[in-house]
Amino acid sequence: MTDESSAAHPDTVVLVHGLWMTPRSWEHWVDHYEARGLTVLAPAYPGFEIEVEALRENPQVIADLKVADTVDHLASVIESLDAPPIIIGHSFGGTLTQLLLARGLGAAGVVIDSAPTEGVRVNPLSQARSLFPALKNPANRHKAVGFTPEEFHYAFANTLSAEDSRAAWERYAIAAPGHWIFEYGLFANYKPGHQDTWVDYSADRAPLLFIAGEKDHIMPPSVNRSNAKHYHRSPALTEFIELEGRDHWTCAAPGWEAVADKALEWATANAAPLRRAVADG
């Protein structure tokens, strides 16, 4: 016989990368969490399974990517697991994490410097400046659009030296789908009907933590704070914290370990315990 009275916390973490990035951006977190005995998955967006260098040479796969297909792909990865995992997303990966939680997936979610879901109307000047390289040319809507090293330094890694920022750009940065930036960026709330980033803010779902960086230019704390407040009608736990001195590159900038530990500790503490079958006698 088996008894399901024993409980355990989630032992699997799914890391969801953001735009201008690939799963390589999580390489330190994978090692950090695996050293704690966790199973760690960092799934790529559809077509992003190849390396950074290959995506730079073949950006058409980036330009053609759809949000709905990406959410479906990530959902299939999570649904294949034996138990609900902790889901952690950075930047647009935070948007995707919110969409996954809205589907009833995950035991807990943490979004770090998250891009907003539909309905968040806070657009600080630094965000507009960060996105301007993509938005300045309407033709970019149909292209894969990248940052120059200087643009990356402002938008992502403004607390780093120019030299360290360029090293991060060289190792990790790729282009992003232009239509995602146009359709789900500054102009998303001015289109009729619901977009692919819409969620029901009043619905129940797994606990969710927003982590914002004080110095983040592209997704400033005010954006994340507003996004979190939109869930005020939901019965689910939603919390927001702001980390002093952190920029958008917080998941790899010096001190990233504290960010990783904060995310995991909160998710583990607030996730619903999983029921484990154990032998009786």
CATH value at residue 187: 3.40.50.1820
Classify residue 162: in a domain, yes or no: yes
Give pLDDT, residue 4: 46
What is the number of domains present in the chain? Answer: 1
Give pLDDT, residue 280: 42
Residue 208 backbone zone (phi > 0: left; psi -120 to 50: alpha; other: beta): beta
Give pLDDT, residue 277: 44
Instruction: Answer yes or no: are the C-beta atoms of 208 and 201 closer than 8 Å.
Output: no
Q: 263 Cβ partners below 8 Å, 6+ apart?
A: 88, 110, 112, 209, 211
Q: How far is the C-alpha of 81 from the C-alpha of 255, rounded, in Å? A: 31
Give pLDDT, residue 6: 45
Classify residue 278: in a domain, yes or no: no
- Any idea what DSSP says for residue 21? -
Classify residue 122: in a domain, yes or no: yes
Triad 167, 70, 257: Cα angle to 5° = 40
Is pTM beyond 0.75 here? yes
Q: How far is the C-alpha of 112 from the C-alpha of 204, rounded, in Å? A: 21
**Pairing assessment for the beta strands 274-279 and 2-8 based on DSSP bridges:** antiparallel
Classify residue 280: in a domain, yes or no: no
Instruction: Answer yes or no: are the C-beta atoms of 44 and 69 closer than 8 Å.
Output: no
Give pLDDT, residue 51: 94
Give pLDDT, residue 193: 59
- Any idea what DSSP says for residue 201? T
Give pLDDT, residue 189: 62
Nearest to 195 by CA among 177, 212, 218, 179: 179
Classify residue 222: in a domain, yes or no: yes
Structural domain span for residue 58 = 12-269
Burial 116-125 (b: 16+ CB within 10 A, else e): bbbbbeebbe
The tens place of each residue's pLDDT in the chain, 281 residues long, gives: 344 444 678 999 999 999 999 999 999 999 999 999 999 999 999 999 999 999 999 999 999 999 999 999 999 999 999 999 999 999 999 999 999 999 999 999 999 999 999 999 898 999 999 999 999 999 999 999 999 999 999 999 999 999 999 999 999 999 999 999 988 766 566 666 578 999 999 999 999 999 999 999 999 999 999 999 999 999 999 999 999 999 999 999 999 999 999 999 999 999 977 654 444 43
Classify residue 174: in a domain, yes or no: yes
Classify residue 99: in a domain, yes or no: yes
Give pLDDT, residue 278: 42
Classify residue 6: in a domain, yes or no: no
